[in-house]
Amino acid sequence: MRRPMDSLVRTLWFLAKHGMFLMLAAVAACLVWTALYFALLLWAVITDSGVGGPLAWPAGLVACVLGCAAFGLGVAIPACAVAAVFRSRLRWPRMVEIPISFLAACALWLGWACVFHGGIPDPLEFLVSLLWMPLPLGTWWWLTEGPGAMWDALRRWKAAH
């Protein structure tokens, strides 16, 4: 049986990793938006088009931060937490977290879709919305949990040989 302090340290480490990645993802999204905004502004000047309103850039920054926060806090972090707890309780290899976190993210996505649609969404629309999920969730998982999973796989491989 694990000691309570070990569980607390693991939980705090998990929250620190995911919290830091959430902030880095928001900063990266804001940087990409800023570069895109100024490229579009330059394009508007070159083509003698309208440059748009003065609130476009700050509104885009707010959208980037809110989008990252919504995905991170509403889908990615809870899905990774479910996978980590499930894997830890059963003492499976860490790579098992990949399909578990994806299934948990799909369930969370369905829950959020039901909340925002006021009921069960159209199945085809929901499946289409799931098509984009593997890229951000996979990136999230590999950057936060991947190094530990690779270390665990190497440790298990060495123990077997």
Is the confidence at residue 1, as pLDDT, over 60? no
Please report, rounded to a whole number, the percentage of residues in the chain having pLDDT higher than 90.
44
Under the banding of pLDDT at 50, 70 and 90, the label for residue 131 is confident
- Name the amino acid, one letter, at 117: H
- Which of 28, 25, 137, 21 lies closest to 82, judged by CA? 137
Task: State the residue for tokens 């707890």.
Answer: 85
| pLDDT tens readout for residues 59-82 | 999 999 999 999 999 999 999 999
Q: What is the pTM of this model?
A: 0.81
Phi (first) and psi of residue 3, to 5 degrees = -75, 150
The pLDDT assigned to 12 comes to: 92
Q: Among 32-46, 48-62, 101-115, 120-134, which is the least confidently predicted range?
A: 120-134
CB within 8 Å of 141: residues ≥ 6 apart: 76, 80, 97, 98, 101
